[in-house]
A and B are shown apart, each in its own frame.
Chain A
């Protein structure tokens, strides 16, 4: 469904991702693990086409279509959606207005309870949101957008324990829901704390360090290894 082939990325003159190979099939959830600055968020931002990340080598394929050269909105239109780690404040744009712009007012009213956000309709997007509220909103946003492939950038960081379960349930629901054409969805998720792994069934984990994927394996085992040994590749 999504494939990164020998992907290298720079910001300006500075290379930040190196020769990344990654393949996420339909119905699969993959997890990126790694220390701060290892390049996890850059992978997601590059897939989404965000500035200032420039592909210098390799390619990104989504449903066998090359994404290089496509704008952000074109990628979204193809079916990619992303829960941002630090979305910008949008003064004057309420949650309700945003949902209406996406023609998703019904989804807002149907799904906001799942993330305890029933009272947010009149709030300006992200303005005055706590860290946890931002994370919950970003997951709720994906219900409104309804993308076929889901990118989550640390959906549980800064979220209190009570709401991590809610986010986990919402992510699970999003991923398990059939895509618009009836096919299975896919997801790529960054987790720093690993707490979300208790609530979702991830298929594959990838350990990143210094802009490279240095190991791939069973996500929970990989996370346990990191907890014990740090961000080093397990012995073969």
Chain B
């Protein structure tokens, strides 16, 4: 373990632990590594095992000269005006650097969290993750605010490098404030033969969320992503997702399940097959819980090789009245029947979620539907 780890093993308050537990946090001793960013301070950066380094991004830039080649490698600081302004305002980037060494089989999940504690705060983070060759790791990440924080603006950049032959499973859960703005930019590179399973759970209300992501999948590598998206009234979520199957044998499956309870969800997905023998699928299913709100699902396919197999499915509809009637005739109240149908639609049984977090996520769905989030 590096010196920085001991230096950064800061304490979290009881309140901080409580709100983080709702998005997957557990005591650092039970995780292989932990990073917790509170406002602009990486309060905790600790690793329990050899082969996993976790530290502030500034420190990583000083320690490893190759890290600067990874930073802004997949995304340009002037890619859009918001990013340009955010980058210009900060001399020192804030965020974490995670480095799982080649061949390391990480026994317990690595957990990373972002918290905004200042009401009307502004937070700009830049995280870099490197999963070394043939390494295996589970990742849990989350975002949260205390109950008194409703408004603020969070901008994040995530650059993730999954090296050849690595296996990475990840789940992220966010719980921002109801009047917050969030802009997240993520870029991932999946090396040859690597396998990635990534699930995002976005249930809580916020004012506006823009998620802009690009994934580049290498030869014989696979990426399986699922997004569970909920938009109550007053929430607008926009997703701009692009997946590039860059080399022979690359595979991707991306499924988005979206529920609008009066909010707006715009989901623009593009799958690009750039090499022969590539195979990809986009699935976008939307469920409208009320006549208000909107779901726009636009899956697009682009085959740049005649031997690329790409397909998509999209559906948007209301709750099926026959299902509702069946459950009500079976003795459930209408609200409970709706809960069950929505939970079934989101189909968490097929989503990778650590066992200890599954009940929490189910509770979050019920709370989101009842307007409690």
Stretch at the interface among A93-101, A176-184, A228-236: A93-101
Interface residue from B331, B334, B341, B344 paired with A102 (Cβ < 8 Å): B331
Q: Is B302 an interface residue (CB 8 A)?
A: no
CB distance B326 to A84 under 8 Å?
yes
What is the CA–CA distance of A88 and B344 in the complex, to the nearest angstrom? 13
- Indicate the member of B320, B322, B343, B344 with the most A CB atoms within 10 Å: B344
Known: A97-B340, A101-B340. A91 touches B345 (CB 8 A): yes
Q: Which residue of A lies closest to B342 (CB)?
A: A92
Q: Is B346 an interface residue (CB 8 A)?
A: yes
Which chain B residues border A82 with CB–CB below 8 Å? Answer: 329
Which chain A residues border B327 with CB–CB below 8 Å? Answer: 90
Which chain B residues border A87 with CB–CB below 8 Å? Answer: 326
CB distance B343 to A88 under 8 Å?
no
CB distance A93 to B331 under 8 Å?
no
Count residues of chain A with CB under 8 A from any CB of chain B: 29
Which chain B residues border A112 with CB–CB below 8 Å? Answer: none
Stretch at the interface among A60-68, A69-77, A159-167, A217-225: A69-77
Which chain A residues border B325 with CB–CB below 8 Å? Answer: 50-51, 72
Which chain A residues border B80 with CB–CB below 8 Å? Answer: none
Q: Which residue of A lies closest to B323 (CB)?
A: A88
Which chain B residues border A205 with CB–CB below 8 Å? Answer: none
Within B338-359, the residues touching A (CB, 8 Å) are 340-341, 343-350
Q: Is B12 an interface residue (CB 8 A)?
A: no
What is the CA–CA distance of A145 and B326 in the complex, to the nearest angstrom? 12
CB distance A102 to B345 under 8 Å?
no
Which chain B residues border A98 with CB–CB below 8 Å? Answer: 330, 340
A144 to chain B, nearest CB (A): 8
Known: A50-B325, A84-B326, A101-B336. A90 touches B331 (CB 8 A): no
Q: Is A124 an interface residue (CB 8 A)?
A: yes
B285 to chain A, nearest CB (A): 10
Known: A90-B344, A93-B341, A93-B343. A102 touches B323 (CB 8 A): no
Q: Is B67 an interface residue (CB 8 A)?
A: no
What is the CA–CA distance of A147 and B329 in the complex, to the nearest angstrom? 10
CB distance B321 to A147 under 8 Å?
no
Q: Is A48 an interface residue (CB 8 A)?
A: yes
Q: Is B229 an interface residue (CB 8 A)?
A: no
Q: Is A141 an interface residue (CB 8 A)?
A: yes
Q: Is A81 an interface residue (CB 8 A)?
A: yes
Q: Is B328 an interface residue (CB 8 A)?
A: yes
Q: Is B304 an interface residue (CB 8 A)?
A: no
Which chain A residues border B82 with CB–CB below 8 Å? Answer: none
CB distance B343 to A147 under 8 Å?
no
What is the CA–CA distance of A147 and B332 in the complex, to the nearest angstrom? 12
What is the CA–CA distance of A213 and B64 in the complex, to the nearest angstrom? 87
Q: Is B360 an interface residue (CB 8 A)?
A: no
CB distance A76 to B323 under 8 Å?
no
Which chain A residues border B331 with CB–CB below 8 Å? Answer: 73, 76-77, 81, 102, 145, 147
A88 to chain B, nearest CB (A): 5
B258 to chain A, nearest CB (A): 14
Known: A101-B340, A124-B344. A90 touches B332 (CB 8 A): no
Interface residue from A50, A84, A90 paired with B341 (Cβ < 8 Å): A90
Which chain A residues border B334 with CB–CB below 8 Å? Answer: 71, 73
CB distance A88 to B322 under 8 Å?
yes
What is the CA–CA distance of A76 and B348 in the complex, to the nearest angstrom? 28
CB distance A72 to B340 under 8 Å?
no
Q: Is B333 an interface residue (CB 8 A)?
A: yes
What is the CA–CA distance of A147 and B330 in the complex, to the nearest angstrom? 9
Which chain B residues border A90 with CB–CB below 8 Å? Answer: 323, 326-327, 340-341, 344
Interface residue from B320, B322, B328, B341 paired with A76 (Cβ < 8 Å): B328
Known: A51-B321, A93-B344, A97-B340. A88 touches B332 (CB 8 A): no
Q: Which residue of A lies closest to B333 (CB)?
A: A73
What is the CA–CA distance of A187 and B146 in the complex, to the nearest angstrom? 55
Q: Which residue of B lies closest to A126 (CB)?
A: B326
Q: Which residue of A lies closest to B350 (CB)?
A: A92
CB distance B329 to A48 under 8 Å?
yes
Q: Which residue of A lies closest to B257 (CB)?
A: A92
What is the CA–CA distance of A49 and B329 in the complex, to the nearest angstrom? 9
Which chain A residues border B321 with CB–CB below 8 Å? Answer: 51
CB distance B343 to A73 under 8 Å?
no
B326 to chain A, nearest CB (A): 5
Which chain B residues border A72 with CB–CB below 8 Å? Answer: 325, 328-329
- Indicate the member of B321, B327, B346, B350 with the most A CB atoms within 10 Å: B327
Within B198-246, the residues touching A (CB, 8 Å) are none
Within B162-191, the residues touching A (CB, 8 Å) are none
What is the CA–CA distance of A50 and B345 in the complex, to the nearest angstrom? 23
What is the CA–CA distance of A113 and B163 in the complex, to the nearest angstrom? 50
What is the CA–CA distance of A4 and B348 in the complex, to the nearest angstrom? 44
CB distance B330 to A91 under 8 Å?
no
A60 to chain B, nearest CB (A): 15
Known: A91-B345, A93-B340. A81 touches B323 (CB 8 A): no
CB distance A88 to B326 under 8 Å?
yes
What is the CA–CA distance of A91 and B345 in the complex, to the nearest angstrom? 7
15 contacts between A and B (CB under 8 A): A48-B329, A71-B328, A71-B334, A76-B329, A76-B332, A84-B329, A88-B320, A90-B340, A91-B344, A91-B347, A92-B346, A92-B347, A92-B348, A101-B336, A102-B330
> Which 4 residue pairs are nearest across A and B when measured between Cβ atoms?
A92-B344, A92-B347, A93-B344, A73-B328
Q: A48-B329, A93-B340 provided; 10 other pairs, C-beta below 8 A?
A: A49-B329, A71-B334, A87-B326, A92-B344, A92-B345, A92-B346, A92-B349, A94-B349, A102-B332, A144-B330
